[in-house]
């Protein structure tokens, strides 16, 4: 619940600060080549949003097939599909130990709803850096693509979010697993 409240607060905060949007394409990292940056287009972020809107969304079985069989050696124990904000969303659960688990969420950013999710939950968050005594949010790079990391300081509960496979917004949330471990696992997932 805390992560949901924090994410909503950050979305409101960032959406109030739209005048500072970058002119560079979403996901572009100047230190990587164009081949490793999946969201770079020649005409910019608005054209990329239009490309997402024109893609046909995947069905539930196709999206569920994107969930990896294992993460950190833990097998996929549950997979659910639903539509959230007009976009297909698949959620997978991985129980690493009695006290550690990972939830993997994959949004298909195709179609109008998916492009809206991409714009609201990704482009508005990738450059946010916030820290207080309880938690933090900071930019990260996964496989040459920008993302962001959020962690509670007192507990080892973290989440990372990144864009993958030219259409998927992926978030990995953990209980008692560090952000570093999540990032290492994220680099192993292929879309």
Select the more confidently predicted residue: 141 or 26.
Answer: 141
Give CA–CA dist 63/173, Å, rounded: 18
Q: 180 is written with which tokens?
A: 């570093």
For residues 105 and 173, give the distance between their C-alpha atoms in angstroms, rounded to a whole number: 8
Radius of gyration of the chain (CA): 16
Mean pLDDT of all residues belonging to the chain: 81
Higher pLDDT, residue 159 or 126: 159
Give the CATH fold of the 38-186 domain. Protein Transport Mog1p; Chain A (3.40.1000)
pLDDT at 99 over 80: yes
3-state DSSP assignment of residue 33: coil
- Nearest CA among 106, 123, 115 for reference residue 49: 115
| CA dist., res. 153 & res. 137, Å (int) | 11
Q: What's the half-sphere exposure (Cβ side, CA atoms, 13 Å) at 119? A: 20
Provide mean pLDDT across the span 22-27.
Answer: 40
Decide: helix, strand or coil at residue 168.
strand
Percent of the chain with pLDDT over 70: 77
Q: What gap in Å lies between CA 104 and CA 122, rounded to an integer? A: 16
DSSP code for 18 = G
For 61-71, what is the mean pLDDT? 96
Q: How far apart are CA 126 and CA 24, in angstroms?
A: 12
Vertex 26: Cα angle to 20 and 50 (nearest 5): 105
Model-level pTM greater than 0.85?
A: no
């Amino acid at each position: 619940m805390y992560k949901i409240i924090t994410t909503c607060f950050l979305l409101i905060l960032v959406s109030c600060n739209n005048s500072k949007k970058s002119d560079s394409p979403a996901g572009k990292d100047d230190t990587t080549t164009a081949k490793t940056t999946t969201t770079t287009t020649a005409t910019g972020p608005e054209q990329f949003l239009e490309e997402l809107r024109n893609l046909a969304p995947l069905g539930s079985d196709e999206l569920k097939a994107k969930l990896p069989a294992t993460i950190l050696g833990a097998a996929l124990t549950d997979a659910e599909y639903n539509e959230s904000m007009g976009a297909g969303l698949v959620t997978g659960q991985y129980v690493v130990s009695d006290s550690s688990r990972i939830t993997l969420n994959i949004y298909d950013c195709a179609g109008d709803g998916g492009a809206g999710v991409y714009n609201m939950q990704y482009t508005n968050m990738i450059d946010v850096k916030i820290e207080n005594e309880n938690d933090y949010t900071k930019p990260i790079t996964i496989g040459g693509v920008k993302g962001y990391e959020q962690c509670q300081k007192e507990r080892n509960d973290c989440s990372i979010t990144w864009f993958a496979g030219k259409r998927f917004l992926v978030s990995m949330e953990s209980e008692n697993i560090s952000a570093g471990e999540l990032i290492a696992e994220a680099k192993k997932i292929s879309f």
